[in-house]
Amino acid sequence: MKVFVILLLLVAGHSAAAEDYTLEQVQLVHRHGSRSALVSYNDSLICGLEFPCGYLNRQGQDMLVNTGRFLRTRYTTDDTVVDPSSPFLTQESYNLTVSYTRSTDVLRTLQSADALLRGLFPNMSAYYPVVHTIEASTDSLLRSDAVPAITAKRKYGLPEERAACDSVVDHYFTSEQLVRVASEVHYDGYCSNWTNRLKCAKTLCDIAHAYESTGEIAQYPLLKENLDKVCAVLVCSSRHLFSYDSTDALQREQGSGGQALAQELLLNVHKHLNQSSPFQVLEYSAHDTTLSPLAGTLGDNSDLAMMPPFGTTYVFELLRRATAAEGSTKVGDYAMRVKRGHPGVTPDTNFEFAWDDFELRCMHAAGRCVRGGG
């Protein structure tokens, strides 16, 4: 896939020290913060009334504000990244000529976009952000359900998904065991039909993650005990829908589900290099179903990539060499540093942001693999 290779050729092949490189542009692609579960059965009993099903909750708001604060520290005072005497972010106030934000047209992603900006630009007296969005059915950049290949899998590929993932349910549960877990959270009516076991287990994982962020999961000991098992089913489903296998001829022909977003990130780099864009920070607020296809495009089909926690953020930092490398007099070369992290997902973490162990591995046009800089 040509775009995949070109994007990765920009990636730094080693750790980029602040004194060697100047940070020129940051692009953020993140999942929304924690929300109430997405269910199709007994929704008021499962989600409650304060934050209806699918709505961003207070914990989710905190997650994204904390992400913004973490990044602000990184780009103003972290001397491994910037010179604190001349930081990348020089203003505390939101500035339309500095920051660009786009979100899917969904309440929880629109609010999450705003929350991250609140942490990044803390001067609330001058906080009037603009969040761009477009109608859901045409948003093939940030919504995977607008990508034809993924839409086809979802609409017509249930037999293949069940063939791939029903066995995961069967490995962990009998029908009676699954219904017992579901009955704790008022979902046994749906899960009592064994034919529904794939969707049942995926939904139980979603409910568990929602309750985990609010601290309520302790009230549901069976669900807590079986969280990893039901979520293994969700990982299987996501891998079936969103992963990318470059050895598969059909997938090579279709391209990865995150290809359009990868192209957008690359286009933003070119606009910066051509001095046709003023933006220093570009933010894309979206869903787990956005991040997983992007991860596949970046060559990561791991469990964490296929089930990104609430608030997971990919950070693409455009760097320009400020000093010549050892043995060279050349300066001005560009590189891309790619990192990933997420806020804590339980109240005891205070939802503080931290990097995970994501390591981008890149292939040059000649076929040689290198480790991306971190």
pLDDT single digits (tens) 61-87: 999 999 999 999 999 999 999 999 999
- If asked whether residues 155 and 304 sit together in one domain, one would say no
Does position 369 have pLDDT exceeding 60, yes or no?
no
Average pLDDT over residues 300-307: 97
* Total number of domains constituting the chain: 2
Does some domain include residue 50?
A: no
- If asked whether residues 164 and 199 sit together in one domain, one would say yes
Does position 52 have pLDDT exceeding 90, yes or no?
yes
Ramachandran region of residue 215, left (φ > 0), alpha (ψ -120 to 50) or beta? left
Eight-state DSSP code of residue 125: G
d(CA 269, CA 27): 9
- If asked whether residues 264 and 363 sit together in one domain, one would say yes
Angle between the N-to-C axes of helices 197-214 and 227-242, in degrees from 0 to 180, rounded to the nearest 10: 120
- If asked whether residues 131 and 172 sit together in one domain, one would say no
Does position 330 have pLDDT exceeding 80, yes or no?
no
Count of H-run helices and E-run strands, the chain: 15, 8
β-strand pairing of 361-363 with 369-371: antiparallel
- If asked whether residues 96 and 113 sit together in one domain, one would say yes
Give me Rg for the CA atoms of the chain: 21
Do residues 210 and 36 touch, judged by C-beta distance below 8 A? yes
d(CA 289, CA 331): 39
Count the alpha carbons within 13 Å of 191 in the hemisphere toward its beta carbon: 27
Do residues 31 and 308 touch, judged by C-beta distance below 8 A? yes
Do residues 30 and 284 touch, judged by C-beta distance below 8 A? yes
Q: SS3 for 332?
A: coil
Does some domain include residue 3?
A: no
Neighbours of 44 (CB within 10 A): 11
Does some domain include residue 188?
A: yes
- If asked whether residues 155 and 241 sit together in one domain, one would say yes
Cα four-point dihedral sign 158, 164, 166, 169? negative
Average pLDDT over residues 32-52: 95
pLDDT at 255: 87
- If asked whether residues 133 and 81 sit together in one domain, one would say yes
- If asked whether residues 324 and 358 sit together in one domain, one would say yes
Q: How would residue 360 be classed by pLDDT, with cut points 50, 70 and 90?
A: confident
Q: Residue 119 phi/psi, 5° resolution?
A: -75, -35
Q: How would residue 11 be classed by pLDDT, with cut points 50, 70 and 90?
A: low
- If asked whether residues 214 and 299 sit together in one domain, one would say no
Mean pLDDT score of the chain, rounded to an integer? 91
Does position 110 have pLDDT exceeding 50, yes or no?
yes
Do residues 134 and 79 touch, judged by C-beta distance below 8 A? no
Does some domain include residue 331?
A: yes
Whole-Å CA distances, 35 to 132, 181, 235, 346:
21, 21, 19, 13
Rounded to 5°, angle at Cα 25 from 102 and 362 = 95
Does position 374 have pLDDT exceeding 90, yes or no?
no
Does some domain include residue 206?
A: yes
Does some domain include residue 309?
A: yes
CATH number at residue 269: 3.40.50.1240
Which of 235, 251, 267 finishes a domain?
251
Which of 209, 224, 251 finishes a domain?
251
- If asked whether residues 72 and 108 sit together in one domain, one would say yes
- If asked whether residues 240 and 264 sit together in one domain, one would say no
pLDDT at 20: 81
- If asked whether residues 211 and 129 sit together in one domain, one would say no
Neighbours of 264 (CB within 10 A): 16
Residue 208 exposed, middle or buried by CB count within 10 Å (0-12, 13-18, 19+): buried
Do residues 257 and 293 touch, judged by C-beta distance below 8 A? yes
Whole domain around residue 208: which residue ranges? 148-251
Does some domain include residue 238?
A: yes
Does some domain include residue 203?
A: yes
Which of 222, 251, 280 finishes a domain?
251
Does position 362 have pLDDT exceeding 70, yes or no?
no
pLDDT digits (tens, 9 = 90+) for 154-192: 999 999 999 999 999 999 999 999 999 999 999 999 999
